[in-house]
């Protein structure tokens, strides 16, 4: 009964992902997924576009049209496959600064989303996960060192958390991707570690969920997002976790789930939660998202599923 709470398709994330949304959903069904949340990116202001979007000539208006098409298609597909898989409708917020708030609130107000993910892909207004040049530029703007950039990343993450209180927090420590130090020990950077703990305190205070995101593994890291020490501290705060493959097409659905069980066991994560888009009687969600229902499953109940077993042969494209 695998789950994922973070996914993209080439249909609605062009240039950055592959395949039609329906094909991605069919891949999740074929792999036995019980829940596969749909979380295409929200629109962003023109100055916050990625280089590939600028090259393609996209604008905020075209991104808004893309979002409208995504929601329409997703709702149709959710109805079509409702007897085979739960497809919570969500979006991934792109917090690029306080000016992003109006667009996030617009998405929530305009469409019947079940939930959304709160993510940071920009620091000082610059994408930090797209390419090395962007990361290096953001580092220069933050003060010229990785440590200064890490500090600003977690400060901007806190601003996002406080402003929108996302039900699910995406790839908590994404900042390590282009840092040249995939497996940094966060405790070894005291000024940064203090900010990480502060942010975890805030997420725990409102009941937010951290995703354990396997995209880090397919990008060469030895641990998913977030790293072990962050998971351990969130557990001490009675924090909850969900699973995500952060897939960007058919080939990445469920990628590296077989490597998750040792990680969960190592960090004493014995329970995971997952979202469904229909609340049972008596559960009205959190008020803003009345169809959001959070359920729990013991890790020991999912260990036998083939998605968590080491594959003999893999056809997945890394």
* pLDDT value at residue 281: 42
Q: Give the closest residue to 124 by CA, choosing from 64, 47, 199.
A: 47
Report d(CA 216, CA 172) in Å as an integer.
11
CB proximity list for 115: less than 8 A, separation 6 or greater = 37, 88, 90, 167, 168, 275, 289, 292
Q: List per-residue pLDDT tens for the chain, 318 residues long.
A: 589 999 999 899 877 788 999 999 999 999 999 999 999 999 999 999 888 888 888 898 999 999 999 999 999 999 999 999 999 999 999 999 999 999 999 999 999 999 999 999 999 999 999 999 999 999 999 999 999 999 999 999 999 999 999 999 999 999 999 999 888 999 999 999 999 999 999 999 999 999 999 999 999 999 999 999 999 999 999 999 999 999 999 999 999 998 998 999 999 999 999 997 554 444 444 444 446 688 899 998 877 666 666 543 332 222
* pLDDT value at residue 293: 82
Sign of CA dihedral 248, 252, 221, 237: positive
* pLDDT value at residue 156: 98
Q: Give the closest residue to 274 by CA, choosing from 292, 262, 259, 258.
A: 292
Report d(CA 269, CA 59) in Å as an integer.
42
- What domains are defined for the chain? 3-308 (3.20.20.140)
Instruction: Tell me the whole-structure pTM to 2 decimals.
Output: 0.90
* DSSP label of 128: S
């Amino acid at each position: 009964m695998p789950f994922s709470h973070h996914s993209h398709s080439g249909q609605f994330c062009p240039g950055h992902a592959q395949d039609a949304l329906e094909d991605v959903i069919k891949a999740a069904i074929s792999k036995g997924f019980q829940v596969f949340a749909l979380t295409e990116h929200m629109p962003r202001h023109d100055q916050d576009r990625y280089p590939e979007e600028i090259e393609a000539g996209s604008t905020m208006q075209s991104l808004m049209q893309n979002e409208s098409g995504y929601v329409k298609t997703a709702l149709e597909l959710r109805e079509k496959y409702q007897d085979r898989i739960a497809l919570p409708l969500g979006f991934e917020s792109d917090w690029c600064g306080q000016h992003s708030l109006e667009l996030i609130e617009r998405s929530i107000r305009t469409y019947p989303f079940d939930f959304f993910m709160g993510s940071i892909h920009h620091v000082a207004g610059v994408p930090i996960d797209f390419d090395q040049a962007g990361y290096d530029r953001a580092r220069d703007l933050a003060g010229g060192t990785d440590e200064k950039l890490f500090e600003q990343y977690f400060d901007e993450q806190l601003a996002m958390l406080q402003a929108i209180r996302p039900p699910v927090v995406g790839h908590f420590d994404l900042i390590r991707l282009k840092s040249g130090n995939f497996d940094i020990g966060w405790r070894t950077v005291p000024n940064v570690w203090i900010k990480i703990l502060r942010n975890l305190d805030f997420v725990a205070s409102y009941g937010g969920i951290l995703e354990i995101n396997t995209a880090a593994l397919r990008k060469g890291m030895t641990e998913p997002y977030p790293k072990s020490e962050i998971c351990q501290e969130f557990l001490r705060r009675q924090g909850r976790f969900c699973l995500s493959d952060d897939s960007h097409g058919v080939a990445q659905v469920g990628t590296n789930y077989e490597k998750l069980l040792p990680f969960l066991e190592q960090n004493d994560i014995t329970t995971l939660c997952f979202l469904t888009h229909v609340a049972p009687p008596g559960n009205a969600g959190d008020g803003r998202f009345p169809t959001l229902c959070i359920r729990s499953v013991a890790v020991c109940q999912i260990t036998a599923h083939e998605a968590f077993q080491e594959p003999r042969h893999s056809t997945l494209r890394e």
